[in-house]
Structure 1
């Protein structure tokens, strides 16, 4: 599956929206790392890694990265959502939280990550229907 080089307004909007939502998720995780999570073993560094990867992938995608950048963005967001769910149920690396704390950041990250996945899927499905030549997003 590949993307065509033609940049339609829909492709530009999808790519821009996905990049923005992924970058926002990264910024939220960076803030949470600095604010309080830096002191939590394993979880703190994971927040910093998620923030760094999200911002890097968002930037590369916005600049016209290859099709698999959208897949990487979706996988990164899905992984973050799974980690969030685990941290609120059975725990993750010995760390457990309850509910939607810290407010409002927990809800905002879930929204941005869900939006990122939805936009990535729209990009990838739309590209698969239209393309036959390798190119960039």
Structure 2
């Protein structure tokens, strides 16, 4: 076994790279919390009458269910959740934002809304979904940056 300082440094870096930095974990937990908040908004709107809208009601229910499924997986993350979970959570938030934009422009299955109505749910939805995506992007960036080996270390001997 090679016990040169470079080899030992690489081993230490490899072991610590498996656990993302504390800031990335905190951002992942925050993303989970904001995704859950988005789910609460969509569930409330579903119960308050959106359930009677053809197709749109089911989309609200689906968004709430996905948020309640992926949000706790992110919020309870002590280590880094699998990338597929993070991707699905980001997709849930981005899908809700896309639906919001579509409902105010071309419409969704004939359903069109205007401005930030219903208030305050529309604004809360935008803020929580943007926060979810931004937090996941930042956590991913920090995790990838943390896992890179410094360029100053010589290559490991095989």
Q: Runs of 5+ in structure 1 lacking a partner?
A: 133-137
Runs of 4+ in 1 over 6 A off after TM superposition: none
Q: Runs of 5+ in structure 2 lacking a partner?
A: 1-16, 149-158
Q: TM-score, normalised by structure 2?
A: 0.76
Contact 1:57 1:73 in 2 (8 A): yes
Question: What is the correspondence of 1:124-135 to structure 2 with a 5 Å cutoff?
Answer: 124-131=140-147
1:83 maps to 99
Tell me whether 1:42 sits opposite 2:55 in the alignment: yes
Q: TM-score, normalised by structure 1?
A: 0.87
2:9 maps to none
Choose which of 58, 72, 87 in structure 1 pairs with 2:71. 58
2:23 maps to 10
SS, match of residue 25 in structure 2: helix
Contact 1:70 1:123 in 2 (8 A): no
Q: Greater Rg, structure 1 or structure 2? A: 2
Q: Deviation at 1:7?
A: 5.4
User: Aligned partners of 2:140 and 2:20: how far apart in 1?
Assistant: 14
2:120 maps to 104
